[in-house]
Amino acid sequence: MPSKDKRIMKMNTAKRSEWRSKCRQRLSDHIADTLGIYIKPTNVRLKFEDEEDVPYEWHIEEPEMEPIFEKQLSRHSVGVYMQLYVGVGSSFWASVPGSKEVSSKPSIQEQIRFLQAENAALLDKLKSSEVYSAEVSQEKERLEGEISASKEFEGNHTDLNTSYQQL
């Protein structure tokens, strides 16, 4: 296969991977916003193999989208990822399993649970960032000390070299 064809295939694979990730993230965010359930983007499913303990299901408003939900998310094309990305929340949405509710609006309690979970996650990220920032500051000070010592050593070396040349 010519290298140009390989480059095109790599670009297509990269584009598909990028859109699959975007789609998974968008669906994950939608589930969190709608149901107050955080699902990692990599764990988002259109179709569940095991129907027990399913945390969410999809309410499909537009019948032409139903075939999309008969396949695993990873088996779709870029066009389907784009369609899912745009349609989530209007053409289809996450709902509580077994719920006959057609509304895509979460209850106040669900919104509160979601916001509390999001707040806790943000606090964890903030704490991690503060620890990382302190570690980076310490490393910076250590490196600045090494640079200073290196410059002093270089100066001493230059002085010795000059003295040696004068002898």
- Quote the pLDDT of residue 105: 55
DSSP 8-state code for residue 75: G
Residue percentage of the chain with pLDDT more than 70: 90
For the chain, how many residues are written?
167
Rounded Cα–Cα distance for residues 152 and 68 (Å):
68
Q: What is the mean pLDDT of the chain?
A: 85
This prediction has a pTM of 0.57
Angle, helices 78-87 vs 3-35, to 10°: value is 20
Q: Which of 1-5, 58-62, 107-111, 125-129 has the lowest mean pLDDT?
A: 1-5
- Quote the pLDDT of residue 115: 74
Q: Which two tokens stand for residue 46?
A: 């259109």
Q: Which of 47-51, 110-114, 149-153, 163-167 has the lowest mean pLDDT?
A: 110-114
Rounded Cα–Cα distance for residues 32 and 86 (Å):
17
Question: What Rg value do the Cα atoms of the chain yield, rounded?
Answer: 28
Measured CA to CA in angstroms, residue 30 lies from 15, 106, 120, 151 at distances of 22, 11, 19, 56
The predicted model gives 12-16 an average pLDDT of 87
User: Over the stretch 142-155, which tens digit does the pLDDT of each residue have?
Assistant: 999 999 998 888 88
Which of the pair, 91 or 27, is modelled with greater confidence? 27
Rounded Cα–Cα distance for residues 56 and 143 (Å):
51
Q: Which two tokens stand for residue 132?
A: 């990382």
Rounded Cα–Cα distance for residues 57 and 95 (Å):
5
- Quote the pLDDT of residue 145: 93
